[in-house]
Structure 1
Amino acid sequence: MAQEVVNPDEPVVLGEEIEHVRVITLNRPRQLNVISSKVVSLLAEYLEKWEKDAEAELILLKGAGRAFSAGGDLKMFYDGRNSKDSCLEVVYRMYWLCFHIHTYKKTQVALVNGIAMGGGASLVVPMKLSVVTEKTVFATPEASIGFHTDCGFSYMLSHLPGRLGEFLALTGARLNGKELVAAGLATHFVPSEKLPELEKRLISLKTGNINAVKSAIEEFSLDVQLDEGSILNKQSIIDECFSKDTVADIIKSFEAEASKEGNGWISPVLKGLKRSSPTGLKTTLRSIREGRKQTLAECLKKEFRLTMNILRATISSDVYEGIRALTIDKDNAPKWDPPSVEKVDNEKVDLVFQPFQEELELQIPEQEQHRWDGKYEHSAYAN
């Protein structure tokens, strides 16, 4: 397992029990609450314990500091690049946890003030209720660094209206709190200064009754009005361009739209798209498109394969080059291999989608009575 630096005096996840309410706080504020091996293990531990506890009725999830969670710990992945499967355990546990967050039996509320990206956002979108603010920033930027849209997002994004899912996955475009509610990726918008008061109100309910919880949130929430320049007002252009068959065709179509009057918003988005890993873009587009026809479980199993094959550099080392350029050397000048989408061999991309042997797949419990089975420690990998 790749090593992570954690201050032993500061638990990376805090769990509080207050009568019938349980509060989880992601507690690595200086690291923007990035998701490490320890974070995943503790989240799973708390959620399983409280789902089985008749006294626990309402689960609140929040982040300490100015971020909810910036997603996976990229440095952890980078540090493990020369050791075979150094991050396999945390990857397995994260996808397994994602399934249980989507299918959780108790009422959950995410209180999201600040950044919620990638794996961090995957803790928010599946929640029965999710509260965002004017400080909330959402994005799934994984393709840009040679990775793929993961943690269940090939399922979640593929079910958005039109081609918004492809757009968000390929461009890593950011959405604000109002846009998240309008897109159906969050349920309520509450001004950030009211969040502490809302949290106290929810704790005072002493119940997980979904209607009572929803009513309490609505006392604080505002109706959402999209800004005129919102990306969500560009749906017709997004649908036109991002419905094309290939990444190359999408870029070509987007370029054509950029030249038209009133489409100045496209240029910076297009620039980012062209700077992204060609292999990451191709893999991501295929994964999102497959996600439309797959169940949640099928998407998570597929994403587990993709993640492991990408980290193993099965067809490219782009993910490590992308992390290096973004967070290690910070030169923002990655050298992709291959350097263009035209040079990314489709047959090679097929390789990262190939199913593993059954015992090496992510083990998702299909039957209700075995709901918390399939843990990493009982998998073929633990042996």
Structure 2
Amino acid sequence: MTSLINARKAGSVGRITLNRPEALNALNQEMVDGLIKALLDWREDDAVKAIVVDGAGGKGFCAGGDIRMLAESGKKGGAEAWKFWRDEYQLNTLIFEYPKPYVALIDGITMGGGVGISVHGSHRVAGDRTMFAMPETGIGFHPDVGGAYFLPRLKGETGMWMGLTGARLKAADSLAAGVATHYVPSDRQEALIAALESADLDNDGETLEDILETHAGDPGDSELAHLGGLIDAAFSGDELAVIKERLQSAGDAWSARQLSILNSKSPSSCAITLAALRKGAELDFREVMAQDLRVSMRLLVEGSDFYEGVRAVIIDKDNAPHWGPQIQSEAVEAMFAPLESDREQSFLG
């Protein structure tokens, strides 16, 4: 049986390749377990100076999590989904707190769970095939895996725009947003990996930076770099209705397009996402991960839009979800209350 995580040491690098290309390397429980084991082993291994993670198949770094499993688990009480999210969020936290350089080669589709195992690391290397997004509001969910931590810490309201609309960023825009730290053209990424594997990396990371610089290229112009004013004007504040009103009255093509996109998303998910990101701006990483598990479980157990989104996008693929009405502010706030003590998020230490 082929392992879905190919973890091995190559020189002074701990190498991980996500090996589920037929699913665009979307994470399942086996993959989360394998990533945690490798990272814990190498954290204490003085011979490993850096971690390098990529995805097999050439199309996707990691397109998310096992959405179908999560929905099926929810219908049976949610125990399997709870374990997956708890462990996935432990993995996200392990990466965020990792004491060694963590290089994610996000040259391909990087969404949802794939963002969680890349954006919290020290180095995120975009390529020509990069497509970076948090599209959860389109399936009645929320930007979990630490989205409520990194999105509100991007420049201005860029993160709120991304979280609400599921905006897809290519390489240049990923750099402009700050979700990518480097750009290496796709046709140089194999050479980059070879150079990292053969290098005698040092503890201060200088050799790693030199190798990345040697293989870097020019990603071209970023459209996002010119949209900051429009994004900040539209997506500030705490009220979804006000954001939509601003987009409606802006009178430009970009704003009209964003309103159309926003209106296609789950209204309740958007309201919850807006609140989650505003709260997350004031929380530390572990607090955000605890918040993520609370919101995820409540959307699974108490909500209906998630199941409708999975039906429309994953199962029937008609891309025509029938969303419920937007929940009221009191119901939004209730999503963030603590779970039962034995269901709260825990960490690996």
State the TM-score, normalizing by the size of structure 1.
Answer: 0.87
RMSD: 1.4
Deviation track 1:11-51 (CA, whole Å, cap 9, x = no partner) reads: 11101112321110000001000011111111001100110
1:206 shift after superposition: 2.9
Partner of 2:36 in structure 1?
A: 44
Partner of 1:377 in structure 2?
A: none
Partner of 2:210 in structure 1?
A: 215
- Structure 1 residues 244-253 or 200-209, which shifts more? 200-209
1:153 shift after superposition: 1.1
Partner of 1:72 in structure 2?
A: 65
- 3-state SS of 1:60 partner: strand
- Distance in 1 separating the partners of 2:13 and 2:322: 49
Which residue type is aligned with residue 362 of structure 1? Answer: Q
- Distance in 1 separating the partners of 2:13 and 2:319: 44
- Distance in 2 separating the partners of 1:223 and 1:103: 30
What does residue range 1-383 of structure 1 map to in structure 2 within 5 Å? 9-65=1-57, 66-85=59-78, 86-209=80-203, 210-227=205-222, 230-257=223-250, 259=251, 263-312=252-301, 314=302, 316-338=303-325, 341=326, 344-364=327-347, 372-373=348-349
Deviation track 1:70-91 (CA, whole Å, cap 9, x = no partner) reads: 0111111122232111311111
Equivalent pair of 1:57/1:208 in contact (CA under 8 Å): yes
- 3-state SS of 1:353 partner: coil
Runs of 4+ residues over 6 Å off in structure 1: none
Equivalent pair of 1:21/1:206 in contact (CA under 8 Å): no
Number of equivalences: 346
Identity of aligned residues (%): 34
- 3-state SS of 2:335 partner: helix
Equivalent pair of 1:78/1:324 in contact (CA under 8 Å): no
1:362 shift after superposition: 0.7
1:357 shift after superposition: 4.0
- Structure 1 residues 153-162 or 176-185, which shifts more? 176-185
Which residue type is aligned with residue 226 of structure 2? Answer: N
- 3-state SS of 2:71 partner: helix
- Distance in 2 separating the partners of 1:281 and 1:149: 10
Deviation track 1:164-184 (CA, whole Å, cap 9, x = no partner) reads: 111000000011111111221
Equivalent pair of 1:173/1:269 in contact (CA under 8 Å): no
- Distance in 1 separating the partners of 2:194 and 2:336: 46
1:232 shift after superposition: 3.2
- 3-state SS of 1:175 partner: coil
- 3-state SS of 1:131 partner: strand
- 3-state SS of 2:102 partner: strand
1:208 shift after superposition: 4.8
- Distance in 1 separating the partners of 2:138 and 2:10: 42
- Structure 1 residues 76-85 or 63-72, which shifts more? 76-85
1:358 shift after superposition: 4.1
Deviation track 1:317-343 (CA, whole Å, cap 9, x = no partner) reads: 1101001100100111111122xx3xx
- Distance in 2 separating the partners of 1:269 and 1:287: 20
Which residue type is aligned with residue 324 of structure 1? Answer: R
- Distance in 2 separating the partners of 1:224 and 1:14: 29
Equivalent pair of 1:124/1:186 in contact (CA under 8 Å): no
List alignment gaps of at least 5 residues for structure 2. Answer: none
Which residue type is aligned with residue 159 of structure 1? Answer: R
1:64 shift after superposition: 0.3
List alignment gaps of at least 5 residues for structure 1. Answer: 1-8, 365-371, 374-383
1:129 shift after superposition: 1.4
